Amino acid sequence: MKPHFLTLLTAAALTIAVAQTRAQAPVYLDVNQPIEQRINDAMKRMTTEEKVALLHAQSKFSSAGVKRLGIPEVWCSDGPMGIRDEVLWDEWEQAGWTSDSCIAFPSLTCLAATWNSDMAALYGKSIGEEALYRRKNVLLGPGVNICRTPINGRTFEYMSEDPFLNAQLVVPYVKNVQQNGVAACVKHFALNNFEVNRSSANVIVSDRALYEIYLPAFKAAVTEGNAWAIMGSYNLYQNQHCCHNKRLLIDILKSDWKFDGVVISDWGGCHSTDEAVANGLDLEFGTWTGGKTWGRSNSYDNYFLAKPYLDGIKSGKYTTTELDDKVSRVLRLIFRTSMSGQARWGSLCSDEHYAAARKIAGEGIVLLKNDRNILPIDASKNPKILVVGENAIKMLTLGGGSTSLKVQRELLPLDGLRNRFGAENVTFARGYVGDTTTTFDGIDTGQKLADHRSAQELTDEAVRMAKDVDFVIFVGGMNKSNGQDCEGTDRASLELPYNQNNVVSAIVKVNPNLIFVNIAGSPVTMPWLNSVPAVIQAWFIGSEAGNAIADILSGDVNPSGKLPLTFPAKLEDVGAHSVGEYVCKPSFKVVDVEYKEDILVGYRWFDTKKIKPLFPFGYGLSYTTFSYGKPSIDKATMTADGSVTVKVDVTNTGKRAGAEVVQLYIADLKSSLPRPAKELKGFKKVQLNPGETKTVEFTIDSSALSFYNDTKKQWEAEPGAFEAIIGASSADIKGKVKFELK
């Protein structure tokens, strides 16, 4: 049957109409067009009011889009260890959803303890998929601030004390978050190394320390990881708040590093419209109404980058130059994420994500001591085990500030140990009572932790039960309460809280087979160390904590973690407390904090000053043993535009397969400026079967030899003699080889 003439005419007209519609469609909607062209097209269609509305929050975790043009909102989520539960529009209390539970991944100190960029990539991929499934455009993490002092309340949220280690791990983390179409917002830029007075402390630091210690991980995230967002920090630097700091945001981030992403304020980190406009802030979150008060219905319109900014533009106080730059950055973020045109779905609480959390935790747990080879515990012999300690039964995924999570499940250490060694073989004694709070921001774990017995009664019970078992596993450490590992406060001291030291000392007198499991995001002192045969550093390891700890103690996983932090014997040994200044008393006035230890942070301080720590940076044991050959170098000299290769053979001399982290440090043997005794410039994690040998290679170029010359305002590799140092830790040196830069 032939088509009717009118039918043909109608079809032709429809084809023409569709073609005309496509031709007239906004370019910014066409995902096949270059992003910059889409940005320019969208900006031409926006009013000034719509542009300003794009630059500040409309709720606790979202900013407005442009509904008229079909440009969606931007939704952010804490945080670096899991996707935070949904909160009410303008409250911190949870919204009451039943579909917003998540997996808690290990703390970033645990990730850094893996010394494995593959684990960083797996972490980023997994948490990015969870963020995508929850329709988040921006993941507020990872945190890469340097762990200058172990009593910083947020140490557990960051990675390490070393800029090179942080830089090597942040790049794969960022890339793999963003492959999901979710922006990684690297934080907190910069010099946020304390919590008390975090909004009123003005950091005084040399340019050398700034460039050599505190900026490298951020630079790597931007220039190598292509991070789409950066979060400013609360503190001040050069007497300007870092969320609108000209030196950091304009001169360094956007000019020197060519950052084309969005600078987001920390929540409440903006303090001035003038500075926010001029000094590089793009997206403002969390400011109280007018920066001063709570609770007005139009509070978001009174943000510094809201009505005050719009009024200033209309009055001629501000030009639109800065406005258009900020808007283009926010649009670029949107076109990279929710309007990228790529179909992505993500996944939430999947078996693969639980497996990833468990694997990362297993690689990050550090075996600190293992006298008499007491570990691993052979489950086939049905040993009788007493588990002691509140941290064996307390959910630690809740609390701590922005890392607090509403998890789908959290397998506790006691349950993990019972699953692995048999419930009939594992008994429990409380040992100590810490913080029995089980609620945070409206989430209640449902646990009943109250115990009104005295410290002596708890100790006596643990000692009595310890006499009749083969092993005692003391699961202690810190929690995420105020004064411990917690945002907004710093730790009260390096000591273990809640009478734990006394309990450990009492138990080991009646049962010498005691294994101490330290669940904490930062170092603690261990006055009983000489009498306790085994210690593992378990960090905060999230949903799979019980399984991961059981994996290590049973030997199902051979520990391969290495410390990313120096564990000092006492706080006074740390540079920030020995010669530096550390904020410890709350103040509403601006307080100067000078980093007098300068570039000597962490092991740099301990090695250079020859101070013996409790456990050194890079340290960690295995259930097997490794031997190192003599390191060699392919040539004794190198030129500034060349490189040298250092090689070393590593052999598994034990009876179990295992992984060793081979570390390369560089020492400048003669420098015109003071330098640390040595600096980490390479590491590789190598898996070896019993009797197997592998050759590990490191390539060194002039950048690994450079220091920042703050007089010349440039990086400089000074000709002369250097030493490549191979170590199993910063203190366990396996070999050295000299070379010369010409």
Q: What percent of the chain has pLDDT over 90?
A: 90
pLDDT of residue 295: 53
pLDDT at 14 over 80: no
* pLDDT classification of 4: cutoffs 50, 70, 90: very low
pLDDT of residue 149: 96
Query: Is 266 an active-site residue?
Result: yes
Topology adopted by domain 351-566: Rossmann fold (3.40.50)
pLDDT at 10 over 90: no
Sign of the torsion angle spanned by Cα atoms 672, 673, 676, 681 = negative
pLDDT of residue 167: 98
* pLDDT classification of 23: cutoffs 50, 70, 90: low
Beta strands in 481-597 (DSSP E): 514-519, 534-537, 591-594
Mean pLDDT of 5-26: 49
pLDDT of residue 268: 92
Contact 243, 273 (CB under 8 A): no
Closest CA to 224 of 174, 273, 165: 174
pLDDT of residue 588: 78
pLDDT at 17 over 60: no
- List pLDDT tens digits, range 164-193: 999 999 999 999 999 999 999 999 999 999
- List pLDDT tens digits, range 463-505: 999 999 999 999 999 999 999 999 999 998 999 999 999 999 9
> Quick check: pTM over 0.85?
yes
Contact 250, 279 (CB under 8 A): yes
Domain positions in the chain: 351-566, 624-741
Contact 270, 56 (CB under 8 A): no
pLDDT at 6 over 70: no
- List pLDDT tens digits, range 209-218: 999 999 999 9
Mean pLDDT of 39-45: 98
Return d(Cα 204, Cα 259) in angstroms, integer.
Answer: 25
pLDDT of residue 3: 45
pLDDT of residue 494: 96
pLDDT at 507 over 60: yes
Give the range among 364-368, 534-538, 575-579 with minimum mean pLDDT.
575-579
* pLDDT classification of 713: cutoffs 50, 70, 90: very high
Return d(Cα 369, Cα 536) in angstroms, integer.
Answer: 7
* pLDDT classification of 684: cutoffs 50, 70, 90: very high
Sign of the torsion angle spanned by Cα atoms 139, 145, 149, 150 = positive
pLDDT at 574 over 90: yes
Return d(Cα 138, Cα 285) in angstroms, integer.
Answer: 13
pLDDT at 20 over 70: no
First to last CA, the chain: 87
* Region for residue 584 given its phi and psi (left: phi exceeds 0; alpha: psi -120 to 50; beta: otherwise): alpha
Mean pLDDT of 532-543: 98
Instruction: Walk across the sheet containing 236-237 and list its strands.
Output: 240-241, 236-237, 201-204, 591-594
pLDDT of residue 1: 43
- Mean of all residue pLDDT scores within the chain: 94
Give the range among 1-5, 124-128, 412-416, 666-670 with minimum mean pLDDT.
1-5
- List pLDDT tens digits, range 369-411: 999 999 999 999 999 999 999 999 999 999 999 999 999 999 9
Mean pLDDT of 592-603: 96
Return d(Cα 155, Cα 149) in angstroms, integer.
Answer: 8
pLDDT at 256 over 50: yes
pLDDT of residue 16: 43
Which position has the higher pLDDT, 129 or 79?
A: 129
Question: Is beta strand 138-139 parallel, antiparallel or unpaired with respect to 183-189?
Answer: parallel
Closest CA to 662 of 685, 637, 644: 685
DSSP string, 612-655: PPSB-TT--B-SS-EEE---EES-SEE-TT-EEEEEEEEEE-SS
Return d(Cα 346, Cα 338) in angstroms, integer.
Answer: 13
Which position has the higher pLDDT, 725 or 21?
A: 725
Catalytic residue among 78, 85, 162, 266: 266
pLDDT at 289 over 90: no
pLDDT of residue 94: 87
Closest CA to 648 of 635, 662, 638: 662
CATH superfamily entry for domain 624-741: Immunoglobulins (2.60.40.10)
Helix (H, G, I), strand (E, B) or coil at 506: helix
Buried-exposed string 437-475: b where 16+ CB fall within 10 A, e elsewhere: ebebbebebeeebeeeeeeeebbeebbebbeebebbbbb
Beta bridge partners of 701: 643
